Amino acid sequence: MNESEYGQEQTAPVWAVFGDLMSGLLGAFVLLLIGVMLVQIELANLLQEEVKKRHIEEQRRMSLEKALAIPLANGRITLTNGKIGISGRVLFSLNSDQLQPEGRKLLNSLVMPLHSYLKARDEMLMVSGFTDDRSIREGNSRFADNWELSAQRALTVTRTLIEEGMPSSAVFAAAFGAEQPLTPNLDETARAQNRRVEMAPVPRVSHSNTTTHAGM
C-alpha cells in the first residue's frame, strides 16, 4: 500500500462522520422549524378566537345599551360590563325590602326591553342584592344580617319583574350581602353607592349540561 492509498483510507471516514453530523443538524433544524410554525399557528388561532370573542361581547354590550336607551339616558340605571345597576335608595328605604312606588315604576319600564333581549339570546337575568358594611341596626327583627337583607331585596325585585310580565323561567335571584362593594365603605356617600341591586344577563344552562352533571 502506497502513501496515497493510505491517506484516502484515513480521510474517507472523516467526511462520512461530517456528513452524518450535518444530516443530523439539518434534521434537528427542520424539526425546530416545524415546532415554531405550529406554535405560531396556535397563537394565531388563539388571537383570532380572542378577537372574535371581543367582537361578540361588544355587539352584546351595544345591543343591551340600545334596549335600555331610555332609562340609561334618564340616568335611572347604569350599565357597566354588562351589569345593570340600580341605586338602593331608588328601590328601597334604608334597611327595608319593601319596594317604593318609584322603584316599581322603574322595574316595569325595564321588563319589556329586557325580556326581548333575553329571548333573542336565550339567556336569563340574574338579580343580585348588595348592602353596605354596616350591621343591621338594633331593633330591626326582620333581618338577621346583611345577607338576609340583600337576599330579600333581590327576591322582591325578582318577584316584581315577574308580576310586571317577565317569565319566571327567565329570572332568578342571588345575594351578596356586603361583599363585592363598588367602592370602599369609607363614608356615607360610598355606602349609598354600595347599597344597590344589579341585574345581569347570563347564559342559560342547557339541558345537556344538566344531564351530564346529574350523572356524574
What are the tens digits of pLDDT across the range 35-81?
A: 888 888 888 777 777 776 666 566 666 777 887 888 888 888 998 88
What are the tens digits of pLDDT across the range 69-81?
A: 888 888 889 988 8
Containing 152, the helix (H) or strand (E) segment is helix 146-163
In the prediction, which pLDDT does 213 show? 40
What are the tens digits of pLDDT across the range 95-136?
A: 899 999 999 999 999 999 999 999 988 999 999 999 999 988
Containing 126, the helix (H) or strand (E) segment is strand 123-130
Q: Which of 20, 199, 190 is nearest to 118 (CA)?
A: 199
Cell 357597566 found at:
80
pTM above 0.85, yes or no: no
In the prediction, which pLDDT does 123 show? 93
User: Chain-centre distance of CA 191, in angstroms?
Assistant: 25
